[in-house]
Amino acid sequence: MTTEIFLVRHGQPVLQNALLGSTDSPLSELGWLQLNESFSKLVEIDSIVSSSLSRCASFAQNFAEENDVNLIIDGAWRECHFGQWDGQSYQQLHQKYPQQVSQFFSDPDQFPPPGGESLKAFSERVEKALKNLVMQHSGQRIAVVTHAGVIRTLVAWCLKMDYASGLHFRRFAVDYASITHLSIYQDDKFYPQLLGLNQRPELAEVTV
- Residue 36, classified by CB atoms within 10 Å of its CB into exposed (0-12), middle (13-18) or buried (19+), is middle
Q: How far is CA 38 from the centre of its chain?
A: 15
Which is nearest to 145 in space by CA: 83, 60, 74, 206? 60
The sheet that has 141-146: what strands, in order across it? 70-73, 47-50, 141-146, 2-9, 179-186, 190-199
Cβ neighbours for 85, distance < 8 A, ≥ 6 positions apart: 19, 93, 97, 101, 113, 114, 116
Is the pTM higher than 0.85? yes
Spatial separation of the C-alpha atoms in residues 8 and 20, rounded to whole Å: 17
The catalytic residue positions are: 10, 79
Kindly give the confidence (pLDDT) of every residue in the chain, 208 residues in length, as a single tens digit, with 9 standing for 90 and above: 899 999 999 999 999 999 999 999 999 999 999 999 999 999 999 999 999 999 999 999 999 999 999 999 999 999 999 999 999 999 999 999 999 999 999 999 999 999 999 999 999 999 999 999 999 999 999 999 999 999 999 999 999 999 888 889 988 999 999 999 999 999 989 999 999 999 987 765 545 4
Cβ neighbours for 193, distance < 8 A, ≥ 6 positions apart: 158, 182, 183, 184, 185
pLDDT at position 208, please?
Answer: 44
pLDDT at position 203, please?
Answer: 63
| Residue 173 phi, psi dihedral angles, 5° rounding | -90, 150
At residue 130, the 3 state secondary structure works out as: helix
Angle between helices 148-159 and 119-136 (to 10 degrees): 80
Spatial separation of the C-alpha atoms in residues 10 and 59, rounded to whole Å: 9
Domains identified in the chain and CATH numbers: 2-79+118-199 (3.40.50.1240)
